[in-house]
Amino acid sequence: MLAPRRDFLKMIGTGFVSAPFATSCVWRPPPGEAIKPIRGSWISIWWDDRRHFYWNDACLRFTAEQWHAAVKDVADLGMEYLVLLAIAKGGKAFYDTPLLPKLEMACPDPIEALLAAADRHRVKFFISSDWYGEWDARALSDPDRARKRFKMMEEIARRYSHHRSFHGWYWPNEACLSPYFADAFIAYVNDSSREARRLMPKAKTLTAPYGTHQAVCDDTFVRQLELLDVDIIAYQDEVGCLRMGPAESARAFATLRRAHDRVPQRALWADVETFAWEGPPNQQTSPLIPAPWERVRAQLEAVSPHVDTILIYQYQGLMNRPGSRAFTGHPDSTRLYTGYVRWLRSR
């Protein structure tokens, strides 16, 4: 998730980029509620830059009981999904593997702790397939990286697929819509999904592209959706990264809805960014802090008419139930939590 976001400042343009719509991309608003609730979130064990400053060290000290509480907290809000950001980072794995040294953590197996808690609280996990190495151009197409990624997937499936909460896989080497997917990204997703079906035939697959402000609905993009072998695409709304405001987000997701209606086998979800920046935006050295609830509410309202499900990036560190055993992150995270809960109870 965060690795591609480091490149936002290098992307062309700063606002929503419109494009002529094909007449076959006519969109009709779906029935349903005006604002959809949050149904899931990303979660991390550790990340190797300061964007996770307010919760990184605390999570390394989490016990299995605290990881359990972290899952219970989101389940108590009615969330159904969690997406594990990574299974390794900075050259160290979060589980025992001969491929990499293991990260030093208080909990000997946080992935097991998370999935066991999710089993109990009926939360569905998408488990990351990476990061064996750093995110760079080689991550998609280097044959050696692919072999090692598939080896880690095989290990993860062998260790954890008995959990009913292991719902699917998350492909974290995300694409930029510019306004189309790169061929290398399509090949990476399709190869990964083929391996996932070999290991766990019933598992779902998810990816979360960025560059959403450049969304188009034309025959070229629709053809790419047909070729892309993934069950769910949760596009980043880019409001936290200051690429769009909620109004532009609504237009972009309406465009994507038109495209996905022509390829209904690709579910359209949103990845709503619940963060702001303590320092300069879009910098690896700048800690993420909670966005105001009023902004997040506007983001949810913007995407709700157009998507099937809303995920956020993220609950952990940015939303906290006061008094939680798994409290971690910025002190203002209780404000975003209480604002959301107040709205949720008023619906």
Q: What are 85-138's pLDDT values in tens digits?
A: 999 998 899 999 999 999 999 999 999 999 999 999 999 999 999 876 666 667
The secondary structure of residue 163, as a DSSP letter, is: S
Stretch among 25-34, 58-67, 68-77 having the lowest mean pLDDT: 25-34
Could you tell me if residue 21 is inside a domain?
A: no
In the predicted structure, residue 7 carries a pLDDT above the cut 70:
no
Tally of domains within the chain: 1
CB 62 within 8 A of CB 329: no
Determine contact, residues 212/249, Cβ cutoff 8 Å.
Answer: yes
- CATH assignment at residue 324: 3.20.20.80
Query: How confident is residue 217, by pLDDT bands cut at 50, 70 and 90?
Result: very high
Please indicate, yes or no, if residue 20 is contained in any of the structural domains.
no
- Among 11-20, 58-67, 317-326, 337-346, the least confident range: 11-20
Q: Over 60: is that where the pLDDT of 185 sits?
A: yes
User: Which of 37, 42, 55 is closest to 170 using CA atoms?
Assistant: 42
How many Å apart are CA 10 and CA 31, to the nearest integer?
Answer: 38
Question: Which of the four pLDDT bands, split at 50, 70 and 90, describes residue 17?
Answer: very low
The overall average pLDDT reported for the chain is 90
DSSP, residue by residue, 88-114: EETTEESS--SSSPBPP-SSS-HHHHH
Distance CA 84, CA 71 (A): 12
3-state secondary structure of 316: coil
| Strands 92-93, 88-89: pairing kind | antiparallel
pLDDT at 6 over 60: no
Task: Give domain status of residue 242, yes or no.
Answer: yes
Q: Is 26 domain-assigned?
A: no
The answer to whether residue 266 scores a pLDDT higher than 50 is yes
Tokens of 52: 């996770």
Range of the domain at 325: 2-13+39-346
Among residues 300, 304, 255, the alpha carbon closest in space to that of 33 is found at: 304
| Per-residue model confidence as pLDDT tens digits over 71-88 | 999 999 999 999 999 999
Q: Which helix (H) or strand (E) holds 297?
A: helix 293-303
Q: Can you give the pLDDT at residue 133?
A: 67
Torsion on CA atoms 63, 69, 75, 77, rounded to nearest 10 = -130
Could you give the count of Cα atoms lying within 13 Å of 290 in the half-sphere of its Cβ? 24
pLDDT at 132: 67
Mean pLDDT of 255-261: 98
Structure tokens at 265: 């086998």
Q: What's the whole-number mean pLDDT along residues 279-298?
A: 96
Element (H, E) at 185: helix 183-199
- Give the span between the Cα atoms of 131 and 111, in whole angstroms: 14
* The pLDDT of residue 165 is above 50: yes
Residue with tokens 């809000």: 77
Residues in CB range of 327: below 8 A, 6 or more apart = 320, 321
pLDDT score, position 62: 98
Q: Regarding predicted confidence, which is higher, 131 or 168?
A: 168
Q: Can you tell me the distance from the alpha carbon of 325 to that of 73, in angstroms, rounded to the nearest whole number?
A: 9
Q: In this predicted structure, what is the pLDDT of residue 77?
A: 97
Is 212 a residue whose pLDDT tops 80? yes
103 falls within a domain: yes
Lowest mean pLDDT among 130-134, 291-295, 305-309: 130-134
32 within some domain: no
pTM: 0.91
Q: Would you say residue 311 lies in a domain? A: yes
In the structure encoding, which two tokens stand for residue 276, read together?
């702001």
Q: What is the pLDDT of residue 287?
A: 97
Question: Would you tell me how many other CB atoms lie within 10 Å of the CB of residue 303?
Answer: 28
Q: Is residue 24 part of a domain?
A: no
CB atoms within 10 A of CB 104: 8
